[in-house]
Structure 1
Amino acid sequence: MDQCITEVKPIKGFYKLSMKQRMGFGAGDLAQNLIYQTVSMYLLIFYTNVYGISAASAGIMFLIVRIVDVIWDPVVGAFVDKNSPRMGKYRSYLLLGGIPLTGFAILCFWNGFSGSLTYAYITYIGLSMLYTLVNVPYGALNASLTRDTDEVTKLTSTRMFMANIGGLAVGYGVPLVVKYFSPDGKINSKDSAEAWFVTMLIYALVGLVLLFFCFSQTKERVIMDEKDTENVKVSDLWQEFKHNRPLRILAFFFITAFSMMAIGNSAGSYYMIYNVNAPDMLPYFMALGSIPAFIFMPLIPAIKRAIGKKQMFYVFLGIAILGMIMLYVISTNEALKGNTWLVLSAQFIKSTGVIVATGYMWALVPEVISYGEYKTGKRISGIVNALTGIFYKAGMALGGIVPGLVLAYVAFDKDNVATQSDMAEKGILWLVAVIPAILLLLAMYVISKYELDDATIDKINREIESRVNY
């Protein structure tokens, strides 16, 4: 008996993605994290202890670089929305920006002009501008793959899972690789300069290969016709921000979240070396900043279905704050101080909350893009990602300048590789636990104002699909 088999075609715009496609997209975040996380976690200690810049000078430089980003990001966002390169509207920049990004990442950790602020400014500003040229289109690429909210959740979970592989490779691996190549076995001495260069060379080249893989596995299917985006301009960014309330809320959440992460990440190495007095445990402490992702990121779709996305933010932000309170108590109690296993346990709890909350926030970006398209008829993904980029880099600016200024205030001694004063240790502890906890409380309040639930965004997407053509 003949059996008629019909192929079920996906609803227009609501495309299903294979695991290979999700992994390919996630490879792009893994690649960028090999550079971003290395800069976030270790560039400050490289500048102060190895390259020879004062903490205050480094902090001010981080702020200036972020100010440059505020100007540069909307330019990139408008440019990528307005143009359609032959290799893809968004995916092209994985290669066009990725190749020079690799070079500048390596140069940032070269000590050939030791102590030169001019060289540091040139290389760090160049790195940051090229990172934007990759990251803004990459973020827009996310929204061009599908409108399906379940698929976006799966895609984001896979992306964050792989991003945290990058975080683990950096947090755990970088100190070990630097120590291996360093003649004195230290990561915070002037003798370790060449080891830092070799380490960044390895990580950046691996990242470039991963960007090529991401390029090969992604296909843009939800994008506007060129005639609908040919008039996109930088000023559209501010119009979008003005009329898109969910975008404004998400933007401010980005500021608080990235401030918290940047401050905590940059202070982690100082904390383990000077407060805990366990430099050999630094790789494990940093690794625990990523390990919870492999447990909890695959569970995000189920957790979200069970309790809702807003409640999920509340729960995991609360868990992160609990971990920070534990770090503070351990470090200020004489009976507990120096207990490495308690420190690592607190770091695991803190990181569990941070990873889930800050990982899932990327799934909200396609939602606010769709909301803006619903309101204005323009799907300007590059502009929206540039705007979120401005705010997460504003967070990074705070995260960059605050540690430098706090370390300067507490008279951190960059020439002492083993010990610091009580005042300096207290300042480091504030950077690791107190200031990040305050920022997370603020983030919890901000996200409480977000109004797009899954049913609403699904309705919006279906209404859009009924009136657009690709």
Structure 2
Amino acid sequence: MKVQTRLADESKGFYKLSLLQRIGFGSGDLAQNLIYQTVSMYLLIFYTNVFGISAAAAGVMFLVVRIVDVVWDPIVGAFVDKSNPKMGKYRSYLVLGGIPLTGFAILCFWNGFSGSLVYAYVTYVGLSMLYTLINVPYGALNASLTRDTDEITKLTSARMFMANLGGLAVGYGVPIVVQYLSPDGKINSRESGDAWFITMTIYAIVGLCLLVFCYKHTKERVVMDEKDTEKVKVSDLWVEFKHNGPLRVLAFFFITAFAMMAIGNSAGSYYMIYNVQAPEILPYFMALGSIPAFIFMPLVPAIKRAIGKKQMFYVFLTIAIGGMIMLYVISVVPTLKTQVWLVLVAQFVKSTGVIVATGYMWALVPEVISYGEYATGKRISGIVNALTGIFYKAGMALGGVVPGLVLAYVGFDKDNAIAQSAFAEQGILWLVAVIPAALLLVGMFIISRYKLEDDVIDRINHEIENRHKI
């Protein structure tokens, strides 16, 4: 009887996924994070201390790149929804976009045109556009695997586990490899340029192999009919945003979440080198940004069942803010500042909250896609992921421009690889703790407006499938 029920549900799009399928899908996020996290954590310090451009110029460039994304993302979303490549509607871009993305990622960390803003702009804009060409269809691929909310939760847990494995490989591994390859053993000096290039080459090639693995082990099952995709256009993005209330809530949460992560990640290197003055501990500090995922992400399905999705957000956002308060207090109290182990504890607490809250938000994307299909009759996964992409890149834009402008305001000396003024150290602390905590408070308010509880979205999904049977 159970087998018959399961088969009936699967015929309605409520597919059960194997462990290999979850790992296969998650490997796509692992691959992207080998590049995304390297850019998020280290590109700013590479540009200022190695490549040789000012913090203000780098911050403005990050903003310009995000503005380009605002135009580019909906074009990609509409193109993906309209197109039906033979290699797969969404999964084909993992390979087709992955190959050139690998090349641009490597070029971004090449010091051959040191100090050239033109070169930095061309390579970073190219990298960002190609990242979108993979990330938008990859996000849509999530919603095409199944409608089952429990399976989506498990899939998201596996995805975030793998994504944070990528974050760990970057946070811990990149500074160690760069230090090992650098002639002076530093990551923030002009002499470390070749070391950065070699390191990024290794990480980018591994990422490409993982994208191919993801392509081979995913199968699209819940997609629009080809006759319906012909009607998709870029303007559908704004129509969807106007009529899809849950999507608006999620989009604004994406802004605050990614701004918080981008600001904190980019400031982490500066914080450990200049405030804590323990560059040798930097790999461990960065690794703690990912390690909690391996403890808590497998528990997310059980936690959500026990307390509900919104309460889970509230609990873990509060934990993250608590960790940021700990970092701030430790850094301003002289007797605590020298206790590096306390810094690592605070980072673990902060990262635990951030990882669960920002990890689970991806499970809400298929929900808002289904809600949009329920309300309009169109399952435009690419468009929805392009829209969420615009908002999370808006968050990344804040995360890129704010650190650069704050560092410029406090008089950061890019030529000093050892020490900064007290005011500059204070500015770095703002970036590590104060500004991210304020953004999380805003995020907590935003997510309180989300209305799609599990029973509601399950009912919506069943009604959609019943329509298709008529």
Q: Normalised by the size of structure 1, how large is the TM-score? A: 0.98
Deviation at 1:205, TM superposition (A): 0.2
In structure 2, how many angstroms separate the alpha carbons of the residues matched to 1:196 and 1:84? 38
Alignment of 1:373-392 (within 5 A): 373-392=373-392
- Provide closer, same or farther for how the CA distance between residues 8 and 393 of structure 1 changes in structure 2, counting only shifts above 3 A: closer
Which residue, 7, 10, 13 being the options, matches 1:9? 7
Q: Which moved more, 1:456-465 or 1:329-338?
A: 329-338
Q: Write out per-residue CA displacement over residues 216-252 of structure 1, whole angstroms, 9 at most, x where no aligned residue.
A: 0000000010111101000000000000000000000
Q: Write out per-residue CA displacement over residues 158-199 of structure 1, whole angstroms, 9 at most, x where no aligned residue.
A: 000000000000000000000011011000000000000000
Deviation at 1:338, TM superposition (A): 2.2
* Cross-structure match for 2:409: 409
* Cross-structure match for 2:327: 327
- Provide closer, same or farther for how the CA distance between residues 431 and 94 of structure 1 changes in structure 2, counting only shifts above 3 A: same
Q: CA RMSD in A?
A: 1.0
* Cross-structure match for 2:295: 295
- The residue type paired with residue 302 of structure 1 is A
- The residue type paired with residue 367 of structure 1 is E
Alignment of 1:118-137 (within 5 A): 118-137=118-137
- The residue type paired with residue 7 of structure 2 is K
Deviation at 1:8, TM superposition (A): 5.0
| SS in structure 2 at match of 1:17 | coil
Q: Is the 1:26–1:159 Cα contact (8 Å) retained in structure 2? A: yes
Alignment of 1:320-359 (within 5 A): 320-359=320-359
Alignment of 1:93-172 (within 5 A): 93-172=93-172
Q: Is the 1:168–1:289 Cα contact (8 Å) retained in structure 2? A: yes
In structure 1, how many angstroms separate the alpha carbons of the residues matched to 2:179 and 2:438? 34
- Residue 27 of structure 2 corresponds to residue 27 of structure 1: yes
Q: Write out per-residue CA displacement over residues 76-125 of structure 1, whole angstroms, 9 at most, x where no aligned residue.
A: 00000001000000000001111100000000000000000000000000
- The residue type paired with residue 72 of structure 1 is W
* Cross-structure match for 1:306: 306
Q: Write out per-residue CA displacement over residues 272-328 of structure 1, whole angstroms, 9 at most, x where no aligned residue.
A: 000000000000000000000000000000000000000000000000000000000
In structure 1, how many angstroms separate the alpha carbons of the residues matched to 2:5 and 2:148? 19
- The residue type paired with residue 455 of structure 2 is A
Q: Is the 1:143–1:381 Cα contact (8 Å) retained in structure 2? A: yes
Deviation at 1:10, TM superposition (A): 4.6
* Cross-structure match for 1:87: 87
In structure 2, how many angstroms separate the alpha carbons of the residues matched to 1:339 and 1:204? 36
In structure 1, how many angstroms separate the alpha carbons of the residues matched to 2:107 and 2:158? 31
| SS in structure 1 at match of 2:336 | coil
Deviation at 1:7, TM superposition (A): 9.4
Deviation at 1:144, TM superposition (A): 0.1
In structure 1, how many angstroms separate the alpha carbons of the residues matched to 2:337 and 2:290? 24
Deviation at 1:461, TM superposition (A): 0.1
- The residue type paired with residue 126 of structure 1 is G
Q: Is the 1:65–1:125 Cα contact (8 Å) retained in structure 2? A: yes
- Provide closer, same or farther for how the CA distance between residues 328 and 205 of structure 1 changes in structure 2, counting only shifts above 3 A: same
- Provide closer, same or farther for how the CA distance between residues 85 and 469 of structure 1 changes in structure 2, counting only shifts above 3 A: farther
- Residue 454 of structure 2 corresponds to residue 454 of structure 1: yes
Q: Is the 1:69–1:129 Cα contact (8 Å) retained in structure 2? A: yes
Q: Is there any run of 5+ residues in structure 2 with no aligned partner, and where? A: none
Deviation at 1:140, TM superposition (A): 0.1
Alignment of 1:53-64 (within 5 A): 53-64=53-64
Q: Is the 1:277–1:338 Cα contact (8 Å) retained in structure 2? A: no
Runs of 4+ residues over 4 Å off in structure 1: 5-8
Q: Write out per-residue CA displacement over residues 112-161 of structure 1, whole angstroms, 9 at most, x where no aligned residue.
A: 00000000000000000000000000000000000000000000000000
Question: How many residues get paired?
Answer: 466
In structure 2, how many angstroms separate the alpha carbons of the residues matched to 1:62 and 1:342? 32
Q: Normalised by the size of structure 2, how large is the TM-score? A: 0.98
Alignment of 1:415-430 (within 5 A): 415-430=415-430
